């Protein structure tokens, strides 16, 4: 089972890197395409909104198709969209490429998680899901800092090349190494909507949405934020992103254990409280920008934020 989970995690690593890599070279995108940094952040916003809206529809349409075929096709869309983005001459076309990439990611990730859940016995499903989503977490440790360095020294378009190469590697790995597995039960779109009538489902969705919004809205602009607070340049900010990723990887392993042993509600309560404290910390640190206190505080806040947001 672990071998199959590794293959799935390789795919989520590529998806995670492509999703958030622009946290590093955001200012370069804004400068080259003559838009504001705030507007450049829409590259992340459009990706996230497209993912959220298209995922239930596209996954439903793919229902009944062999999971390996779905995973390969979804990753192929993700790769082609990132390859096209390399040559995008305008910001509008770049946004379109991001939307197409999000459609591929929106099918790949839930399919990979469904396969992982089906491979694991009930008492180990939390850890199996945590392992596969660990690919997203590792992207914070390796993919995003590396993309930030590449964007700083080789231009932001090269980050798309990096993401496309990662996607090709994941696609080939899934195609050749993941065996045929049984398709998960087909869930119709009506059944997915009917699930929203259950208060527990609505509460879980709201908690997850609020937690992700709180963490990743800030992460979209984390590179200029960290540069302002600490006074670091591109390499220094990449190092700080690496620290965030290490903390996220550590937190991801704890999250799977916590879900299996303490329950979702109790775990989410602790996560949201600590996440709020971490993000509030940035508001305080801005007042001391450039000082040793700001640098030390940033290290502490990033460690806490990364450890919590990975859940």
Q: What is the pLDDT of residues 245-263, one digit of tens each?
A: 888 777 766 666 666 666 6
pLDDT of 48 reads 86
Instruction: Tell me, yes or no, whether 148 and 224 share the same domain.
Output: no
| Boundaries of domain holding 124 | 1-190
Terminal-to-terminal C-alpha distance of the chain: 23
Instruction: Tell me, yes or no, whether 16 and 120 share the same domain.
Output: yes
Instruction: Tell me, yes or no, whether 26 and 150 share the same domain.
Output: yes
pLDDT tens track for 158-211: 999 999 999 999 898 888 877 777 666 666 666 666 667 778 777 777 777 776
Instruction: Tell me, yes or no, whether 165 and 202 share the same domain.
Output: no
The residue whose two tokens read 């390996």 is 68
Q: Which of 155, 190, 225 is the last residue of a domain?
A: 190
Instruction: Tell me, yes or no, whether 205 and 106 share the same domain.
Output: no
Has residue 2 got a pLDDT over 80? no
Instruction: Tell me, yes or no, whether 157 and 248 share the same domain.
Output: no
Average confidence (pLDDT) over 135-144: 84
Instruction: Tell me, yes or no, whether 295 and 148 share the same domain.
Output: no
Q: Which of 164, 190, 216 is the last residue of a domain?
A: 190
Instruction: Tell me, yes or no, whether 86 and 164 share the same domain.
Output: yes
Contacts of 176 (CB under 8 A, 6+ apart): none
Instruction: Tell me, yes or no, whether 177 and 259 share the same domain.
Output: no
Q: Which of 154, 174, 190 is the last residue of a domain?
A: 190
Instruction: Tell me, yes or no, whether 202 and 181 share the same domain.
Output: no
Structure confidence at residue 13 as a pLDDT band (50, 70, 90):
very high
Q: How many domains does the chain have?
A: 2
CA-CA-CA-CA torsion for 82, 87, 92, 94, nearest 10 degrees? 20
Return mean pLDDT, the chain: 83
Average confidence (pLDDT) over 56-78: 90
- The CATH number of whichever domain residue 179 belongs to comes to 1.20.1250.20
Sign of CA pseudo-dihedral 286, 30, 155, 13: positive
Give exposure, 57-83, as e/b (b: 16+ Cβ within 10 Å): ebbbebbeeebbebbbbbbbbbbbbbb
The verdict on pTM exceeding 0.85 is no
Instruction: Tell me, yes or no, whether 159 and 30 share the same domain.
Output: yes
Q: What is the rounded CA–CA span in Å between residue 267 and residue 252?
A: 12
Instruction: Tell me, yes or no, whether 202 and 153 share the same domain.
Output: no
């Amino acid at each position: 089972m672990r071998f199959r989970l590794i293959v799935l995690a390789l795919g989520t690593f590529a998806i995670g890197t492509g999703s958030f890599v622009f946290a590093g070279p955001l200012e370069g995108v804004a400068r080259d395409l003559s838009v504001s940094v705030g507007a450049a952040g829409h590259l992340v916003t459009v990706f996230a909104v497209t993912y959220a809206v298209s995922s239930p529809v596209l996954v439903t349409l793919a229902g009944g198709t062999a999971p390996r075929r779905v995973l390969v096709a979804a990753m192929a869309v993700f790769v082609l969209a990132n390859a096209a983005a390399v040559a995008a001459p305008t910001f509008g076309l770049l946004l379109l490429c991001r939307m197409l990439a999000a459609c591929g990611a929106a099918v790949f990730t839930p399919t990979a998680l469904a396969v992982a859940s089906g491979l694991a016995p009930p008492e180990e499903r939390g850890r199996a899901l945590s392992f596969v989503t660990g690919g997203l977490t590792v992207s914070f440790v390796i993919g995003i800092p590396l993309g930030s360095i590449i964007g700083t020294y080789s231009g932001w378009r090269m980050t798309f090349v990096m993401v496309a190469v990662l996607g090709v590697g994941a696609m080939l790995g899934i195609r050749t190494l993941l065996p045929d597995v049984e398709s998960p039960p087909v869930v119709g779109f009506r059944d997915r909507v009917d699930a929203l009538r259950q208060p527990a489902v609505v509460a879980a969705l709201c908690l997850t949405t609020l937690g992700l919004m709180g963490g990743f809205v800030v992460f979209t602009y984390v590179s200029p934020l960290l540069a302002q607070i600490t006074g670091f340049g591109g390499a220094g900010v990449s190092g700080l992103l690496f620290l965030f990723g290490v903390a996220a990887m550590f937190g991801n392993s704890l999250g799977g254990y916590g879900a299996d042993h303490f329950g979702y509600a109790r775990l989410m309560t602790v996560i949201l409280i600590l996440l709020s404290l971490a993000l509030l910390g940035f508001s305080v640190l801005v007042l001391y920008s450039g000082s040793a206190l700001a640098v030390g505080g940033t290290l502490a806040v990033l460690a806490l934020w990364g450890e919590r947001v990975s859940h």
